[in-house]
Amino acid sequence: MLFSSIPFLYYFLPIVLILYFIAPKLLKNSVLLLSSLVFYAWGEPKYIFLMIATVLSGYALGLLIEKFRGKVLSKIFLALAVLIDLGALAYFKYADFFIENFNAVTGLSVPLLKIALPIGISFYTFQILSYNIDVFRGTVRAQRNPINLATYVALFPQLIAGPIVRYKDIETQLTERKHSFEKASDGIRRFIIGLSKKIILANTLGELCDIFMQSGDKSVAFYWLFAISYMLQIYFDFSGYSDMAIGLGKILGFEFMENFNYPFISSSITEFWRRWHISLGTWFRDYVYIPMGGNRVGKLRLLINIFTVWFLTGFWHGAEWTFAIWGLYFGVFLTIEKFFLTDFLKKNKIISHIYTFFLVAISFVLFSSGDIKTAVSYIGGLFGAGNAPLVSNEFLYYLKSYGTVILIGIIGATPLPKKALGKLSEKGRFKKAWDIIEIPLLVLLLIVSTAYLADGSFNPFLYFRF
């Protein structure tokens, strides 16, 4: 089930909220758990057993890791937890990728397994892993109540699209969380804004990206229009889902971490990754990069650490070489910045913003490509390869058709609207007016988003790839 769907918005969510708020405190997690299992089973009923099995193994191993902490057995149980979780992820997400590459190298024809990818497995696997690792480190105590742990893993707001919520961040909230009208209203506001970003902006920009991919009249300008549109599409899609997850969490009394912080205003690739998919970046930092030694090692080891982490970051996104190359691409420029460019970028802000935009745009063209051949073709097209004309009639037509949405997207991807609204809110007269029009405006956004959905408009689910 998708947040951006009529069944979720007008059937599932209202019923869940009614049941949740009428349930006594002792049963609220049970209501959330059962609701989350229904939410997950809606699209993939058979894989609900995989998630339950993963949760139960994480629960049992967490108890054993804590019981024998400081002893060899604790390390053995942690290793077993990592093996089970990453083994399941490797089998369901990467098995056919490894077989294809094995066949390509050896010339054999080992049949593919053709396994359907369980939605959200990359997210909930990382959550269970972080829980077991934190229990091993002594950062958190093992959860004694299996329903509480299962609720943490399966919680439907963040189950299939993140952010990657760590157990230690919501450990207390699982048993003691506060509900208030103010918190719920903030959550509703955040959810509607996220829904609008996804439906009105991301989906509309996605239509343009699809048109480009199917076009036979590509020009250099059209390639760049695609690059910018895809950057904005994936940003509003990712951040929109994160907004919806954070908003739903607030309604239910949870506080989830922010996952995006205006990444396109960055003046370096390093800053970009501090602002983009924050929960993923910090997960790899805390559970891979730092345990490998981080930057407290020699230069050669530091390079190994950086490229290992960024290869894994890219590969986490999907079983394609383009994703791995995408991760290594960022690893290259992060390394260059670390050793050579930091001072220059700090002193030359205009150049640093252009540099960052340019590299990020190319990176997402690579990210959008299903294979290396397409990636080379698209990136080459940005620079006129293949005798692509500078401008074409098709580019001019679609620039005119989608230009307004792109402009709104560019402005909306910056802090300008929020800052402008904040400054105006300081003025008494405007604040009173805003208090009056805010609710009707949010209702209007919900109605428009619903109309897009009811019309059967373009509504892709990017997370099937992850």
Q: Of the candidates 434, 440, 436, which has an alpha carbon nearest to the alpha carbon of residue 422?
A: 434
Tokens of 223: 């390639």
Judge whether 356 and 267 are in contact, CB under 8 Å.
yes
| Tokens matching residue 23 | 């349930």
Report which of 168, 174, 165 is spatially closest to residue 141, judged by C-alpha positions. 168
User: Mean pLDDT of all residues in the chain?
Assistant: 91
185: which 2 tokens?
């209203």
pLDDT at 462: 62
Burial class (CB in 10 A: 0-12, 13-18, 19+), 224: middle
Alpha carbons 53 and 288: distance in angstroms, whole number: 25
Residue 279 to residue 177: CA distance in whole angstroms = 22
**Residue 441 region by backbone torsions, left for phi larger than 0, else alpha for psi between -120 and 50, else beta:** alpha
Q: Which residue, chain included where needed, has tokens 């060899």?
A: 72
User: Which residue is listed with tokens 């959810």?
Assistant: 191
User: Residue 337: CB partners within 8 Å, gap ≥ 6?
Assistant: 268, 269, 270, 345
Low pLDDT (below 50) residues in the chain: none
| Amino acid at site 405 | V
The Cβ-side half-sphere exposure at 334, using a 13 Å CA radius, reads: 22
- Residue pair 122/163 in contact by the 8 Å Cβ criterion: no
pTM of the model: 0.92
Residue 317 is a catalytic residue: yes
- Residues 177-204, buried b or exposed e (16+ Cβ, 10 A)? beeeeebbeebbbbbbbbbbbbbbbbbb
Q: State the amino acid at position 337 in one-letter form.
A: E
In the chain, the largest separation of any two C-alpha atoms, in whole Å, equals 74
**Residue 395 tokens, joined:** 């580019």
Cβ atoms of residues 189 and 442 within 8 Å:
yes
